Structure 1
Amino acid sequence: MKLQNVIILGLLLKCCVCFSQSLQRPLQILIDPGHGGVDSGAVGKNGVLEKDLVLQIAKQLTWNASSFDHKPAHYYLTRYADTLIGLRDRTDLAKQLKADLFISLHFNDAPDTNAQGIEVYVYDGPSRYRKESVWLAYTILEKLAGLTKQNKRGVKFGDFQVLRDLSNRCPAVLVELGFIKEFF
């Protein structure tokens, strides 16, 4: 499953290269492995912590990113270790890096053990990059669902701080890669 997630996210980022076509510089992509430190996020049935899983996926993704892209891109993480980074600090980093894309990675959780599938969130308020964020969200949803054979729970709109704070800075999405109890 780990390699599959890295390949999927690599393909996902490959489709994002279209954002760099009008840029005269390398695309700046900020990957946000959610949670960290004392905030474990969801816990899988085998005790796997969401914070560890998304960090591992994000690290593998950035490490392998050069093999996925045909155009120059720079990949950054909001955290490189098991540390708690504040939501404002995550978005401030995107602003400092002048990120062209912000992708926050998570796994979903629900009391219903039959819950399954992928969902991608976009900011629900006014946004300069709403159209690009929605396009990115649908592209991610289609690619992930097609490759993993998971249900598409849809593109949804929410008021998550990381999306709200970047609504006028760059396209931003929050990806729920599936339900952690389905896999771990």
Structure 2
Amino acid sequence: MTLRSLVLASALVLFGLPASSRAAERPARIVVDPGHGGAQEGATSPSGLLEKDISLQIAQRVREHLEKELGAQVLMTRDEDQSLPLPERVEFSNKQRPDLFLSIHCNAMPTKRTRARVQGLETYFLSASASNATARAAADRENAEAPTSRGARGDSTLAFILHDLARTEAHQDSSRLAYAIHQKLVAATGGSDRGVLQAPFYVLNGVEAPAVLIEVGYLSHPEEGARLGRPEHQEKLATAIAEGVRGFLAEVRKRDAPKPAQVAAPATP
């Protein structure tokens, strides 16, 4: 056995099978994370709608669709208007050993000119560097609630390597999950397609499962901000997110299904 094989085998023992593999064995377990809450209000629409409320309303609809249509077990990081620090969201998620992590947010622009002009959908997965200035600004805004510094890791070098190997598949699947959801969102809502992007979101860093952050629209835009508060639009968003998850899980289960045993051909006399 090579060193890499030994390390990877140890990782599977210590950290469990990759979440995407576990999804093939039982109903999917999904953590849904409504952004902000409590004193952390997030973005605000021109009419006074708050991101913390909109994200929770959409997350509750997403949970309903995932449970009803996929038979999934859905756990919410928060189910009411409460403050919940970003590290606690990550810790909660990892304790559940989920197959997927979905963080739901609304975006915003800082100036009067950009608030009047910029709208649309963005879906993110984790990267150490942002795709562009827009992605960096989104991450900076959402990370504003994060601790100013993270405590030093107490892990040994070997434990760090094992952890990194165990998360490799989850990170690759995060990209696939982001594209699966984003395509459904754009098709269902007709919203402006601002792309699947990468950025260093705190809430995605450390989640030991395929994880995405969905910016369901710009709350700061006069028209889109108003739509985000309407139940019928929230239903479109929630349905599309659930359909994206369904498509992703179908691909994962097909990929991870046991392969038929290869029967050796009889030897030629």
RMSD: 1.7
SS at match of 2:80: coil
Q: 1:20 to 1:144 in 2, by over 3 A?
A: farther
Is 1:158 paired with 2:199?
yes
Give 1:39-54 correspondences, 5 Å limit.
39-54=40-55
Residue by residue over 1:110-132, the C-alpha shift from the partner in whole angstroms, topping out at 9 and shown as x without a partner, is: 13111011111111148512221
Structure 1 pair 164/43, CA: closer, same or farther in 2 (3 Å)? same
Q: Which amino acid aligns with 1:27?
A: A
C-alpha contact 1:120 1:176 (8 A) present in aligned 2: yes
8 Å CA contact 1:122–1:134 kept in 2: the answer is: yes
User: Which amino acid letter does the alignment assign opposite residue 123 of structure 2?
Assistant: V
Q: Distance in 1 between matches of 2:188 and 2:180?
A: 12
TM superposition shift of 1:174: 0.5
Q: CA deviation at 1:64?
A: 4.0
Distance 1:114 1:40 in 2: 23
* Match of residue 177 from structure 2: 136
Q: 2:125–2:213: 8 Å Cα contact kept in structure 1?
A: yes
The answer on whether the counterparts of 1:20 and 1:27 sit within 8 Å (CA) in structure 2 is: no
Contact 1:20 1:26 in 2 (8 A): no
Does the 8 Å CA contact 1:118/1:178 hold for their aligned counterparts?
A: yes
2:218 and 2:21 mapped to 1: Cα distance? 32
Query: Residue 61 of structure 1 corresponds to which residue in structure 2?
Result: 62
1:93 matched residue in structure 2: 92
> What stretches of structure 1 move > 6 A for 4+ residues in a row?
none
Q: 1:26 deviation in Å?
A: 2.0
* C-alpha separation in 1, matches of 2:205 and 2:61: 27
> Unaligned stretches of 5+ in structure 2?
1-19, 129-163, 227-269
Q: Quick one: which amino acid aligns to residue 175 of structure 2?
A: V
| Cα shift at 1:66 | 3.0
1:170 is matched with: 209
Partner of 1:77: 76
- How much does 1:59 deviate? 1.5
Aligned equivalents of 1:82 and 1:20: distance in 2? Answer: 34
Task: Decide which of 149, 156, 163 is 2:190's aligned counterpart.
Answer: 149
Q: Cα offset for 1:152?
A: 1.1
Name the structure with the higher strand share: 1
TM-score (norm 1): 0.82
Residue identity in the other structure for 2:124: Y
Question: How many Å apart are 1:21 and its aligned residue?
Answer: 8.0
Larger radius of gyration: 2
Q: Matched residue pairs, number?
A: 162
The answer (yes or no) to whether the contact 1:118–1:152 under 8 Å persists in 2 is yes
2:121 is the counterpart of 1:118: yes
CA 22–109 in structure 1, closer or farther in 2 if over 3 Å, else same: closer
Displacement of 1:67: 2.7
The TM-score normalised by the length of structure 2 is: 0.57
Query: Counterpart of 1:183 in structure 2: which amino acid?
Result: G
Structure 1 window deviating more from structure 2 (56-65 vs 77-86): it is 56-65
SS in 2 for 1:165: coil
Identity %, equivalent residues: 36
In 1, distance between residues paired with 2:213 and 2:59?
13
